[in-house]
Amino acid sequence: MDCEVVSVSSGGVFDVAGLRHQLEELDVEMARPDLWDDPEAAQAVGRNKTAVEAELALHDRVEGGLDDAELLRELASDEEDLETLREALEKCVEIDQLLQDAELQQLLGGEYDSNGAILSINSGAGGTDACDWAEMLLRMYLRWAERREFKTEILDIQGAEEAGIRGVTLRIQGDYAYGYLNTEQGVHRLVRISPFDSNARRHTAFASVTAVPEIDDSIEVEIDESDLRVDTYRASGAGGQHVNKTDSAVRLTHIPSGVVTQCQNERSQHKNRATAMKIMRAKLFELERQRKQAKMEELTGERREIGFGSQIRSYTLHPQQRAKDHRTDLEIGNVEGVLDGDLDAFIRSTLLSQGAQIRPRGEESEGKG
């Protein structure tokens, strides 16, 4: 039975004593009366405390699961009960997945990696096939989020005329959602026999994926109202048909940066504007963060390939079936499984190839106090 292996491996994933010591130090920091004199430093301390508490909670889940599995194994052995033994094995598999998640999370040291994500998918070259491909990618990420029991909400979706979607923006909330999905940014290519071609020819379609961290209201993002252009229009559903009789959908354009956000999810124009503004804040925040990172890399001589607008992965359904990541050369034959949300192998290999290193909690706040 694998529980002994799991138990040994868990010791290498969690530094419980170190985490508890960090939590004590962070509690002291949080209690400082002058903490909020520097809001940015205070927010960093709060994020670190939340991350450490989440890691300790994950450790407790693993330890509790191990105890349950051991109890089930003893019961199965005493009573020669195969059903109970099967339950114990399933518990071990569950624990192993938790440990894999913990190891992945330790590869994520970015300041906002533990946040939720705002994910956007847009069809590219390929006509109707590209719109269909964008919708397939939407399903892939929804299934991935479902596997992880993450909460999802579609904020805006633009239907295409014949099939699929032109674009979609969704919120994905869960521990490290942004850190994981940040590895998915770039252009995704599909090669298949087109269901929209009466001659059954092979077609190539493209769609882009972008992700920004979800930020809360405590993070200040200054947006001058005079820099915004606000357009209202009727919300549209599948096939471009209008689903509302009023101009409830809202599109915001930040004129200095050219960033555009929109929302038609609600019947209320006021609610749609609030959501579009929330997405705008997140996108402008990420834009500024990337600008600062690029400046720092320029000063230090470091340059990390982001591949933001480049083709990162191909999904081939004909003549052979395979999904290949062009950054890591990882190739998976079970394309249907990948399209059904089994993305963790790609995410893990990308994090490793980017040279992501385990960084002690609390590092981001050092030097800010």
Higher-confidence position of 212 and 237: 212
Higher-confidence position of 174 and 112: 174
Quick check: 304 pLDDT over 60?
Answer: no
How many Å apart are CA 314 and CA 328, to the nearest integer? 12
Higher-confidence position of 96 and 252: 252
Three-state DSSP at 217 gives: coil
What is the CB neighbour count within 10 angstroms for residue 25?
15
Cβ-defined contacts of 156-161 (< 8 Å, 24+): 156/261, 156/262, 156/263, 156/264, 156/265, 156/275, 156/276, 157/264, 157/265, 158/236, 159/236, 159/237, 159/238, 159/239, 159/240, 159/241, 160/123, 160/128, 160/131, 160/239, 160/240, 161/239, 161/240
Quick check: 311 pLDDT over 70?
Answer: yes
Maximum average pLDDT range among 23-27, 83-87, 235-239, 330-334:
330-334
Average pLDDT of span 299-325: 71
**208 and 147 in contact (C-beta within 8 Å)?**
no
> What pLDDT is stored for residue 309 in this prediction?
46
Average pLDDT of span 349-368: 55
> What pLDDT is stored for residue 22 in this prediction?
84
Question: Each residue of 77-105: pLDDT tens digit?
Answer: 766 667 777 777 777 777 777 777 777 77
Question: Each residue of 271-287: pLDDT tens digit?
Answer: 899 888 888 888 888 88
Write down the domain spans for the chain: 3-106, 117-357
The model's confidence at residue 8, banded by pLDDT at 50, 70 and 90, is very low
> What pLDDT is stored for residue 106 in this prediction?
72
Higher-confidence position of 253 and 290: 253
Q: What is 117-357's CATH number?
A: 3.30.70.1660
Closest CA to 126 of 68, 186, 208: 208
Average pLDDT of span 183-208: 90
> What pLDDT is stored for residue 339 in this prediction?
96
> What pLDDT is stored for residue 299 in this prediction?
47
Strand-by-strand arrangement of the 259-263 sheet: 228-233, 249-254, 259-263
> What pLDDT is stored for residue 188 in this prediction?
96
**How much of the chain exceeds pLDDT 70, in percent?**
81
Quick check: 5 pLDDT over 60?
Answer: no
> What pLDDT is stored for residue 293 in this prediction?
66
How many Å apart are CA 158 and CA 240, to the nearest integer? 8
> What pLDDT is stored for residue 225 in this prediction?
84
> What pLDDT is stored for residue 217 in this prediction?
63
> What pLDDT is stored for residue 355 in this prediction?
61
Pick the CATH number of 3-106 from 3.50.50.60, 1.20.58.410, 1.10.3720.10, 3.30.420.10: 1.20.58.410
Quick check: 12 pLDDT over 60?
Answer: no
Three-state DSSP at 228 gives: strand
> What pLDDT is stored for residue 108 in this prediction?
80
Quick check: 306 pLDDT over 80?
Answer: no
Quick check: 300 pLDDT over 50?
Answer: no
Three-state DSSP at 273 gives: helix
Report CA torsion sign: 160, 185, 351, 329: positive
Closest CA to 209 of 307, 105, 74: 307
Quick check: 340 pLDDT over 70?
Answer: yes
Range name among 46-55, 73-82, 257-266, 320-329 with the lowest pLDDT average: 73-82
How many Å apart are CA 2 and CA 9, to the nearest integer? 11
Q: Is the peptide bond before 195 cis (omega within 30 degrees of 0)?
A: no
Distances (CA, A) of 5 to 11, 13, 25, 179: 11, 13, 33, 28
> What pLDDT is stored for residue 133 in this prediction?
96
Q: Which helix (H) or strand (E) holds 229?
A: strand 228-233
Q: Which helix (H) or strand (E) holds 210?
A: strand 202-213
Quick check: 49 pLDDT over 80?
Answer: yes
> What pLDDT is stored for residue 119 in this prediction?
94
The model's confidence at residue 1, banded by pLDDT at 50, 70 and 90, is very low
How much is the mean pLDDT over the chain?
79
> What pLDDT is stored for residue 314 in this prediction?
95
